[in-house]
Structure 1
Amino acid sequence: MRTFVGAYSWTEVPARGVTVVEAGAVSGTFTDIVNPFHLAFSPSGRTLYVASNAPEGRVFALSVGDDGSLTPLNDQSAEGAGTIHVLVHGGHLYATNHDSGEVVVFPVNPDESLGPVTQSVKHLGSGPDTLSQLGPHPHMTVPDPTGTRVLVPDKGNDQVYVYRLDEGRLVPHSQVHLGAGTGPRQLVFHPDGRHLYVINELVSSVTVCGYDPSTGTLWTLGTAPTLPEGADGWNAPSGITLSADGRFAHVGNRGHESLTVLQVRKDGAHLEPVGTLRLSEEALSTMPWDLVLDPSGTLLYLANQTAGTLVTFAVDAETGLLSPTGASVEIPGAACVLLG
């Protein structure tokens, strides 16, 4: 299985390039994209779309060769700053501009290149955190189980938005406030389509939400911590992934430098922490940024942004607990993992 890895740097010198990993080693790098923060395939798998997290955000379309090589197809302005996520859905590409606060829509052409932005939806509002919530910061766009709506968590104003899709256009439908200063960052649906789990970056928790697919109504049910009891110091949970059977969720903790396993209970309505794996007792920082499960559910891939590594963990199918495989590939600024 090939793995495509995006990168990000907090320094004045940005990360560059999408790295291709095959058979446990780097097989190629496409270097002409600044801070390639997030990656997504076209439905055919022939095109890779890349979000450039830069002051002038852009989205790139790259053709994927049979050997995994990447060649430019075209690129378009995201008409905003800090583009950090792309979703391909229903003949359109949806991108989120974290820094300037918009969700933008691109048409996907028949050759899988991108047309210019056809819609830009600006979020409004702020939160109490004076460092991270001076304005809106949408973080990702996720289709609901019906495919007729998309959900957007906004770290800057503590809202999760539900948009109805009308021929690709975003139509405001409903929203829910997760609590002042929570900072919703990412979300994932349970396989039942009636529950979803939202990472709260600013308070180290996961909010469990109920969802009615027939109406698009969203509501909160409770929260679960991403850190063990007694943990202190700065922490900002990053990614969340859910096992295909919906029994376990895995969460990355930046700061605490750990992965937390939560068991799904009460038919999806409750999360219970069952274990936390510290990533390193020696390194000052690894920054676990993005994590994904392979199709078998037996292997978890993790991008460590500060450490600059792509590592893997074996997943216990009965407990959800993780154990290091020892495999590691050096990729400076690793921040996004896409299996292909």
Structure 2
Amino acid sequence: MTQTIYFGTYTRRDSKGIYKADFDPSKGELANLTLVAQEPSPTYLAFDQAGHLYTVGAEDGAGGIAAYDQKAQLLNHVVQEGAPLCYVAVDEERSLVYGANYHKGQVLVYRRLADGRLELADSDTHEGQGPHANQASAHVHYADLTPDQYLITCDLGTDQVTTYDVAEDGKITPLDTYKCAAGAGARHIVFHPHYKIAYLICELNSTIEVLIYDGVGHFEHLQTISTLPADFDGANGTAAIRLSADGKFLYGSNRGHDSIAVYSILADGSLELADIVPTNGQNPRDFNITPDQNYIIAVHQDSDNATVFKRDAETGKLTEISHDFYVPEAVCLTFK
């Protein structure tokens, strides 16, 4: 049965907005790229269970978030002066949507109305900086839920992971903060499906920090592991991080080395590098595992192509099938 994949993009060159394509899991083939909605640089996408689409959005020179209905018709924008968001996530239980604003160092909470439109409920602005040249100010890069329904943010500018309590009306209260290595640049985090373990991918020093999570907002460091080969000395920044559904393998993408690092997850939740696979494109900003867990698809911001890998469920390793499917300026992909 064909699956539909949605792509978020930048619209700096050829892209017009949000795209979709068909994926045939029996053949591992992508086809039928279609423009779904015109939106300025919709760089991250999230669907709710009803099929509403929430995306990074802009309107009249102001930046924020956009809401679309099940037919990809615009419902509304919620924008403020300045740059738009960089990450969007849905909280079904509380009927909220979360956003991260990299340039403003903000986490934002939106109420989801009955028809799918959004209105701002609360926000928090981070302060601080780090030792790296890209850390002159706070840069919130991720805002999403922990398995126990706390809100968590990753701040690339301050090297901090902050946990918030969320009230039913969307008001947020900081609970705890984890500090990663100085200059590491916390980007995204994922949680193991069985262990009290989280994996934090750090953009600026190309590492993954393995964290023990106590279930009530507090983290402790267990391990740091590189995403790069030992002999690589070029410029690199990490991007996406994904876990296999069975909790046995972890994947992280490199931009510069242009690859996906593959890790086996050991009995204590720590990582062991299994492979580093070239993506055959420039700047693999995002990738995702297909719902059947049999493939990984990576998209490239600078070379406008998607690469399809067959995934071995026993070893976690990837074998490229193709890298020539055109998607303009793609930086996010998700399944509906």
* TM-score normalised by length of structure 2: 0.92
Give the superposition deviation at 1:80: 5.0
Distance 1:272 1:51 in 2: 35
Distance 2:200 2:33 in 1: 34
What corresponds to 1:76 in structure 2?
78
Q: What one-letter code is carried by the residue in structure 1 that aligns with 2:19?
A: T
2:141 aligns to what SS in structure 1? coil
Query: Are the counterparts in 1 of residues 64 and 77 from structure 2 also a CA contact under 8 Å?
Result: yes
What corresponds to 2:68 in structure 1?
62
Aligned CA distance change for structure 1 residues 79 and 169 (closer, same or farther; 3 Å): farther
What corresponds to 2:26 in structure 1?
none
Percent of aligned pairs with the same amino acid: 31
Given the alignment of the two structures, is residue 196 of structure 1 paired with residue 192 of structure 2, yes or no? no
How many pairs does the alignment contain?
324
Distance 2:14 2:77 in 1: 19
What corresponds to 2:271 in structure 1?
271
Aligned CA distance change for structure 1 residues 210 and 110 (closer, same or farther; 3 Å): same
- Runs (4+) off by over 6 Å: none
Distance 1:218 1:266 in 2: 19
Query: Are the counterparts in 1 of residues 39 and 58 from structure 2 also a CA contact under 8 Å?
Result: no
* Aligned with 2:36 (options 30, 34, 52): 30
Distance 1:326 1:14 in 2: 22
| Cα offsets for 1:87-138 (capped at 9, x unmatched) | 11021111111001111111100111112x22120001000112x1000001
Given the alignment of the two structures, is residue 52 of structure 1 paired with residue 50 of structure 2, yes or no? no
| Cα offsets for 1:257-304 (capped at 9, x unmatched) | 111101111331x11111111233xxxx61111111111111111111
Distance 1:177 1:327 in 2: 38
Q: Which runs of 5+ in 2 are unaligned?
A: 24-29
Structure 2 counterparts to residues 81-230 of structure 1, below 5 A: 81-89=83-91, 90-115=94-119, 117-130=120-133, 132-147=134-149, 149-167=150-168, 168-192=170-194, 194-213=196-215, 215-230=216-231
Which moves more between the two structures, 203-212 or 76-85?
A: 76-85
RMSD between aligned residues: 1.8
What corresponds to 2:320 in structure 1?
324
Distance 2:14 2:306 in 1: 19
* TM-score normalised by length of structure 1: 0.91
Distance 2:174 2:202 in 1: 22
Q: What one-letter code is carried by the residue in structure 1 that aligns with 2:288?
A: V
Query: Are the counterparts in 2 of residues 144 and 193 from structure 1 also a CA contact under 8 Å?
Result: no
Query: Are the counterparts in 2 of residues 191 and 245 from structure 1 also a CA contact under 8 Å?
Result: yes
2:273 aligns to what SS in structure 1? strand
Q: What one-letter code is carried by the residue in structure 1 that aligns with 2:275?
A: G
1:291 aligns to what SS in structure 2? strand
Q: What one-letter code is carried by the residue in structure 2 that aligns with 1:166?
A: A
Q: Which runs of 5+ in 1 are unaligned?
A: none
Give the superposition deviation at 1:333: 0.3
Distance 1:261 1:248 in 2: 7
Aligned CA distance change for structure 1 residues 151 and 14 (closer, same or farther; 3 Å): farther
1:141 aligns to what SS in structure 2? strand
Given the alignment of the two structures, is residue 19 of structure 1 paired with residue 16 of structure 2, yes or no? no
